Amino acid sequence: MVFKDNLRINRFPWPKVLKISYKRSSFFIKIRPGEQEQYESTIGFKLPSYRAAKKLWKVCVEHHTFFRLVQTSGKTI
């Protein structure tokens, strides 16, 4: 979800996300075309720094991996 001033302005459900990436201080999401659209679209966000873009990318990858996990490894700490 994307928020601006505590107001949700957009959401990107995982099934619609084709690719997430970052380059320099920009973060990008490539979205699968909807029913009325013919082409994929890419949405970009400008972040304060390269590190912020990389951190957001990493959090998204971990979130996606967690919710796509079928079973745990069974290891205990």
* pLDDT at residue number 77: 64
- Cβ distance 30 to 12 under 8 Å? no
pLDDT tens, position by position, 29-51: 999 888 888 888 999 999 999 99
Q: Which domains, and CATH codes, for the chain?
A: 2-68 (2.30.29.30)
pTM as predicted:
0.75
Mean pLDDT per 10-residue section of the chain, whose length is 77 residues? 87 88 94 86 94 94 82 67
